[in-house]
Amino acid sequence: MKRLLFLLCLLTTTIISQAQSKQEQGAIKSLCGCYDVKFMYAEIFPSDTASKFTKPYKTGGLEWVVADEASDKKIVLQHLLVISDSMIIKHWREDWEYEKNDWWVFAHDATWKRVTGTKPVKGEWTQTVWEVDDAPRYQGTSKWITNNNQYYWENTTDAPLPRREYTKRKDYNVMQRGNKIIITDTGWVHEQDNSKIVRVDGAADRVIALEKGYNIYKKVDDSKCKMAQAWWEKHKAFWVNVRQTWNELLKNKTVVRLIPKVDDELLYEKLDHLEDEKLDQTALKAKTKEILQKYIDQNYTAPTAKRN
């Protein structure tokens, strides 16, 4: 009898777990589509008298989000900005992986360190966000939660400065992002509670300001993003190659530091030139690897921790 009860309990738990997993997969896939997006940020607290509020940031536009890869345990979403009928910009990418057990943790100043757990985190989904050139950006892991009539995923993780910040200021080097992705009736919301941090090895972090952010994704008819759909079909093979090459280069590393510019060019500029060359697959793979390696500091090693 005890064995029968145990088996029934195990079966019930398995069925509930599978149902939850399907719901979570559905939530992640629901992030896809054509959206009218509003990006809004404002500093809400300078931590000392030397710091001053920066002006609130607000912009928006159309964005197409497509599931470029989808399985039970991994979903890859590519974001594309629709600037006009003739201009599409490859935006950021997010990978969602179920019960992952190793993560790239951002340290500071274009440096990431790999952290490996002893086993996958039960029931959690890891979101990995990649730059427009598919270089590392940040990772966070958490469970999807139902609470107070909301269905959401929430995590806090360290990240490099976003473009809206690093192009204007140099007074901090880590953004600690409080990310909350909320599924809504009209789309989804990326709510953020961010800390702007000065980080130096061997010293305590110094928070210079807090920031509140809302990225509001309101779903519109897919036809408004048809140019983005066509653009991705034409260009995705090139970017899948870039993505795979990054994976190969990062696979056996425990720490990586990136170089912002090579030959006075940003990485995405170099990759745009490469795509224009229209090389065959073998030559493209070799040239992609050659370019990406130039943007990885091959001589960097992590500082040795001091012993007391």
Percent over 70 (pLDDT), the chain: 88
Q: Minimal CA–CA distance to 250: which of 109, 134, 156, 141? A: 134
Rounded distance between C-alpha atoms, residue 229 and residue 236, angstroms: 10
Give, for 232, the enclosing helix (H) or strand (E). helix 226-250
**Stretch 9-35: mean pLDDT:** 73
Q: State CA 84 to chain mean position distance.
A: 25
Q: What are phi and psi of 101, to 5 degrees?
A: -125, 15
Residue 302: pLDDT band (50, 70, 90) is confident
Rounded distance between C-alpha atoms, residue 243 and residue 48, angstroms: 41
Residue 229 has a pLDDT of: 96
Per-residue pLDDT at 299 exceeds 80: yes
**Stretch 212-230: mean pLDDT:** 97
Residue 177: pLDDT band (50, 70, 90) is very high
Residue 48: pLDDT band (50, 70, 90) is low
Rounded distance between C-alpha atoms, residue 23 and residue 70, angstroms: 14
Residue 45 has a pLDDT of: 80
Residue 2: pLDDT band (50, 70, 90) is low
3-state secondary structure of 169: coil
pLDDT digits (tens, 9 = 90+) for 80-104: 999 988 899 999 999 999 999 999 9
Per-residue pLDDT at 117 exceeds 70: yes
Residue 297 has a pLDDT of: 96
Per-residue pLDDT at 50 exceeds 70: no
Residue 147: pLDDT band (50, 70, 90) is very high
Could you tell me if 58 and 72 are in contact, meaning their C-beta atoms sit under 8 angstroms apart? no
Per-residue pLDDT at 1 exceeds 80: no
Residue 102 contacts by C-beta under 8 Å, 6 or more apart in sequence? 114, 115, 116, 117
pLDDT digits (tens, 9 = 90+) for 58-74: 999 999 999 999 999 99
Mean pLDDT (the chain) is 90
Residue 227 has a pLDDT of: 96
Per-residue pLDDT at 7 exceeds 50: no
**Stretch 234-256: mean pLDDT:** 96
49 or 44: which carries more pLDDT confidence? 44
Per-residue pLDDT at 109 exceeds 60: yes
Q: Is the dihedral of CA 245, 251, 252, 254 positive or negative?
A: positive
CATH (residue range 33-229): 2.40.128
Domain ranges of the chain: 33-229
Rg (CA), the chain: 21
Residue 301 has a pLDDT of: 81
Percent over 90 (pLDDT), the chain: 81
| DSSP per position, 87-134 | EEEEEEEEEEEET--EEEEEEETTEEEEEE-SS--TT-EEEEEE-TTS
Residue 8 has a pLDDT of: 42
Per-residue pLDDT at 266 exceeds 80: yes
